[in-house]
């Protein structure tokens, strides 16, 4: 499996193809595609069910792993009989791209429902890992991390979306952050402006202005309203003494028609100023494979947003599901006792997406908060402790973050906007070689009676049950809830 295997086809689902390509990218000490292979088969048998024409896929839905069974009957073009939708660009006889796309189509209700989407959502549904989105603000020349965890207060009266301001940084800080994410082998993506052109022109722009922008992008080898995979980040020194900050990008189309034609495009004369050993280390080629390089400034100019998915391998997982009632605040928390300095932790609160099977509720405004327990603190309310950070409150199916946790005891809690009723799943991942005990506990209406959950027993410390909870503690691939669509 290679990133160049994915070929988008006739559907406007570049968001999904970009996510797949990002997960296939080679990782240190791992074979290409090991993350994707984990989505196929049952109990390690990748060909389970193939003898009867069935293919078993595993996708994350609302924070819970689901099994999805599909067949290999694929839509084809009338005359050529070639697959109409996603295919393997390099190996015509390989069906894994088409089968995975069909599994998504089944979960979403149809192939048509795969039109338009978020690459970060696709990666989350294939990994159960959280993500953070960023937006390029043309007016201020800053990058806004809309989902990023940040210091904050517990005051619910201040908990409004207007005041949940994003974290902002300049291009220098943003490039440093991209470099850090790239070194950690996280999956990153970029998007060009589509229907919403507010970052480039007035919101009331006429259709001819939109068409003009589209033609300008096509002249540069880019597409509007399109998702791309961000494969790499490099800082290089040229022979002329200039320093360049470069980003390697892949178009899901996988051909020359979708490659950038500006500075550091495949045929740019600027490559003549780069040392051969640097070009070799960067993997620079002139192949018509949809992979190209751009400067950070050009990326900021032509793209409008992007994101990073904090994909963590060899992780231990705690996943808890609950129901929040209307007249109760934060009703659920997880106690983290970390014994590893600088432990890598990711956390995410999930709900059923707005489209696809099982979409029976409106999206809740969700956020996460982390507090550090101090000596003498009791588990009375999640306000007891030093406030470390919180995410923005967002109307999304998944809201999460990644962070390094120092030694100590912490409380992680999820909160909903205006105490609306709805189901959610809270998931915590810890990285390899991390010693971190995780245990959920309920918070009653009488916060002074909140206690830890005992194995197999319901919480008995409050007079009213604030919500029901199904606790699951799993490690690695054992965290699977068998479910057939």
Assign 13 to helix, strand or coil: coil
CA gap 227, 244 in Å, rounded: 24
Strand pairing category for 227-237 and 386-390: unpaired
Indicate which residue of 4, 13, 14, 60 is catalytic: 14
Indicate which residue of 13, 88, 226, 304 is catalytic: 226
Assign 256 to helix, strand or coil: helix
CA gap 170, 457 in Å, rounded: 51
Strand pairing partners for 144?
Answer: 135, 168
Is residue 462 annotated as a catalytic residue, yes or no? Answer: no
Nearest to 238 by CA among 266, 278, 206, 205: 278
Strand pairing category for 343-350 and 422-430: antiparallel
Indicate which residue of 251, 304, 338, 393 is catalytic: 251
Burial of 314 (0-12, 13-18, 19+ CB in 10 A): exposed
Distance of CA 116 to the CA centre of its chain: 16
142: number of Cβ within 10 Å: 17
Which residue's structure tokens are 């934060």? 330
Is residue 324 annotated as a catalytic residue, yes or no? Answer: no
CA gap 337, 406 in Å, rounded: 10
Is residue 214 annotated as a catalytic residue, yes or no? Answer: no
Please list the active-site residues.
Answer: 14, 226, 251
């Amino acid at each position: 499996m290679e990133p160049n295997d994915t070929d988008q086809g006739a559907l406007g689902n570049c968001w999904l193809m970009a996510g797949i390509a990002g997960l296939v990218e080679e990782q240190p000490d791992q074979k290409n595609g090991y993350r994707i292979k984990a989505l196929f088969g049952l109990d390690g048998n990748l060909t389970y069910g193939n003898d009867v024409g069935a293919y078993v896929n595993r996708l994350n839905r609302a924070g819970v792993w689901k099994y999805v069974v599909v067949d290999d009957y694929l839509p084809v073009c009338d005359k050529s009989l070639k697959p109409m939708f996603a295919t393997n660009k390099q190996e015509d006889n390989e069906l894994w791209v088409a089968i995975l796309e069909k599994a998504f189509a089944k979960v979403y209700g149809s192939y048509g429902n795969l039109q338009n989407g978020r690459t970060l959502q696709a990666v989350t549904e294939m990994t159960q890992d959280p993500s953070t989105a960023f937006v390029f603000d043309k007016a201020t020349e800053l990058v806004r991390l809309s989902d990023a965890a940040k210091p904050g207060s517990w005051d619910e009266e201040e908990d409004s979306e207007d005041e949940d301001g994003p974290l902002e940084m300049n291009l220098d800080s943003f490039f440093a952050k991209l470099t850090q994410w790239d070194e950690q082998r996280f999956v990153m993506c970029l998007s060009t402006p589509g229907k919403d052109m507010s970052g480039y022109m007035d919101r009331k722009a006429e259709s001819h202005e939109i068409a003009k922008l589209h033609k300008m992008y096509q002249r540069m080898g880019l597409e509007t309203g399109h998702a791309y995979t961000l494969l790499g980040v490099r800082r290089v020194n040229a022979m002329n003494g200039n320093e360049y900050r470069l980003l390697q990008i892949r178009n899901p189309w996988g051909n020359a028609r979708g490659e950038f034609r500006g500075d550091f495009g495949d045929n740019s004369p600027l490559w003549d100023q780069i040392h051969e050993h640097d070009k070799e280390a960067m993997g620079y080629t002139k192949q018509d494979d949809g992979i190209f390089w751009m400067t950070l400034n050009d990326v900021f100019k032509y793209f409008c947003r992007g994101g990073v998915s904090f994909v963590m391998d060899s992780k231990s997982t705690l996943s808890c599901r609950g129901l929040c009632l209307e007249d109760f605040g934060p009703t659920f928390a997880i106690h983290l006792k970390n014994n590893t300095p600088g432990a890598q932790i990711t956390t995410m609160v999930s709900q059923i997406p707005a489209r696809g099977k099982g979409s029976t509720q409106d999206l809740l405004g969700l956020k996460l908060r982390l507090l550090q327990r101090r000596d003498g603190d009791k588990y009375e309310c999640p306000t007891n402790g030093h406030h470390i950070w919180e995410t923005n409150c967002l109307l999304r199916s998944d809201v999460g973050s990644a962070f390094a946790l120092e030694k100590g005891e912490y409380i992680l809690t999820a909160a909903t906007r205006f105490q609306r009723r709805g189901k959610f799943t809270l998931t915590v991942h810890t990285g390899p070689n991390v010693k971190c005990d995780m245990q959920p506990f309920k918070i009653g209406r009488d916060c002074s009676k909140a206690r830890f959950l005992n194995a197999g027993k319901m919480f008995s410390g409050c007079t009213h049950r604030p919500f029901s909870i199904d606790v699951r503690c799993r490690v690695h691939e054992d965290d699977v809830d068998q479910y057939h669509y």
